Structure 1
Amino acid sequence: MKLSTQNTVRCLSLAVLSLFAGLAQAHTGHGTSGLADGLAHPLGADHLLAMVAVGLWSVTALPAHKAWWGPATFMLSLIISAALGAAGLSVPFLEQMISLSVVLFGAMLVLSRQKMPVPLGLGLVALAAALHGLAHGAETPAGGLATYAVGFLASTATLHFGGVAFGLGVRKVLAEKSTWVMAGLGTLCSGAGLYLFSQL
C-alpha cells in the first residue's frame, strides 16, 4: 500500500472516529419544531453512518449509473416505516437492531467486491431503512409527521449524496485500490456499529 493510500485511510479513520465525540446515539426526542427536528434526527451517529454507508455501497456494488437505486430504496422504505412508527408501530430492541444495521452496511461494503445479487442488496437496504424509519416515526413531534418528514428526508438525501459523491471520488482517484479503501471503510463502519451496540 503506497504512502498516499495509507494517509487517505488514516484520515478517513479519524473522520469516522471523530463522530463519536458528541454523536453517540444523539436523537432529538419529542420536540415541537417539526422541520428542525426532522433535519437533526438523522445526525445521530447510528443513522448518519448507515446513510453514508448506503451511498458508498451503492457506488461500489450497483451497476454503473444505477447508484441512485440504493438511496431511493432506503428513502422509500424510510418514509413508509416512519408513517407506521408515527402511528404507533414498534418492534422490540429497535435501537439495538439499528446499531446492528450499521454493522450490516459495513459488512456489505467489505463484501461489495463479491457482487451480491442486486435484489438481495436492495432488500437488505430496505429492511434496515425500515428500522431507521420506525425510530424516526416514534419521535414525531407534536406538530405532526409532514414537516418533520420533509426535514429527515432532506437530511437523509444529503447524507446519501455525500456517500455517493465520496465513493465516486475515491473510485476515480484510486481506481483499482478503491475496493480496498471501501473494504477498510466497511470494517470501520461495522466496528462503529458494534461500539454503538455495546453502549445500549
Structure 2
Amino acid sequence: MNMMHGNRSTALVVAAILLPSVAAAHPGHDVTSGLLYGLGHPVGGIDHLLAMLAVGVIAAQAGGRSLWMLPIAFVGMMLMGGLFAFSGIALPMVETAIQLSLIAFGVLIAMGFKLPVLSASVLTALFGLFHGHAHGMEHAAQVSATSYMIGFAVSTAALHLAGIGIGRRLQSMPAPLYKLLGGVTVSTGLALAMLS
C-alpha cells in the first residue's frame, strides 16, 4: 500500500511540473491566452523551474511554518517583481540574481542547512522578486497582464507543492539524494552564470 501511495505521489508531482508546459505548447494555442502563457512560463526555463522546485524542497526540509511561509514569501514578492516590470521599474542584475538563487538554494538543499524561518522567508522573497521581474519583462504584449500574472503565480505555487512532495519523498531515502539534487541545482546556476 505504501508503494502504491508513493507512486501516486510521484505521478502527482510529475503532473504538476509538466501540465502547464503541455497546456501552453498544445497545438492550436498561440499566445492569446494570458493565463495559459503564464502557466507555461515558469516551466519554460530551467532556471525558474529548478528554483521554484527548490523552494518547496527547502520548505519540506525545514518543516513547520516554513512549509507555508517560504512559498508564500516567494510567490508574493514574485508578483511584486512582475508589477515592477510592468510599471517600467528596473531592477539591477536580474539574471545574476536568478543564477545566485539556484546556487544558494542548491547549497541549502545539499547541506541540509535550516535557516531560521524569518531569514529563509526573506531570502526566498528576495529571489522571488527577481524571478517575478524576469517573468514581467518576458510578458507578451498581446496577452492580459492580469491573467498572465495569475497563470505564473498558480504555476509557481504548483511547482512549490511539487518541490514539497519531492522533499518529503527524499526524507525517507538516503541522504546523498539531497546532496545530488542540491549539486544539480548549484551546477545549473554556475553553468548559466558562465554562459551569460
TMscore range, shorter length? 0.7 to 0.9
Structure 1 residue 69 displacement after superposition: 1.7
The answer to whether residue 86 in structure 2 is matched with residue 90 in structure 1 is: no
1:189 to 173, 185, 188: 185
Gaps of 5+ in 2: 1-30
1:45-64 aligned at under 5 Å gives the runs: 45-63=46-64
| Contact 2:66 2:117 survives alignment (8 Å) | no
Deviations 1:124-177 (A, max 9, x none): 100000000111111222233210011111211111111101111121x32xx3
| Structure 1 range deviating more: 89-98 or 146-155 | 89-98
TM-score normalised by the chain length of structure 2: 0.77
Structure 1 residue 107 displacement after superposition: 1.3
Query: Which amino acid is 1:55 matched to?
Result: G
Distance in 2 between residues matched to 1:32 and 1:83, nearest whole Å: 20
1:147-166 aligned at under 5 Å gives the runs: 147-166=147-166
| Contact 2:108 2:114 survives alignment (8 Å) | no
Q: 2:110 maps to what in 1?
A: 110
TM-score normalised by the chain length of structure 1: 0.76
Query: Which amino acid is 1:182 matched to?
Result: Y
Query: Which amino acid is 2:108 matched to?
Result: M
The answer to whether residue 126 in structure 2 is matched with residue 127 in structure 1 is: yes
Distance in 2 between residues matched to 1:72 and 1:61, nearest whole Å: 15
SS at match of 2:50: helix
| Contact 1:62 1:118 survives alignment (8 Å) | no
Q: 2:15 maps to what in 1?
A: none
| Contact 1:89 1:134 survives alignment (8 Å) | no
Deviations 1:37-79 (A, max 9, x none): 211210110000000000000000242x641221111111111
Distance in 2 between residues matched to 1:117 and 1:68, nearest whole Å: 14
Query: Which amino acid is 2:134 matched to?
Result: A
Distance in 2 between residues matched to 1:79 and 1:138, nearest whole Å: 12
Structure 1 residue 94 displacement after superposition: 1.4
Gaps of 5+ in 1: 1-30
SS at match of 1:88: coil
Query: Which amino acid is 1:181 matched to?
Result: L
Aligned-residue Cα RMSD (Å) equals 1.7
Distance in 1 between residues matched to 2:66 and 2:59, nearest whole Å: 8
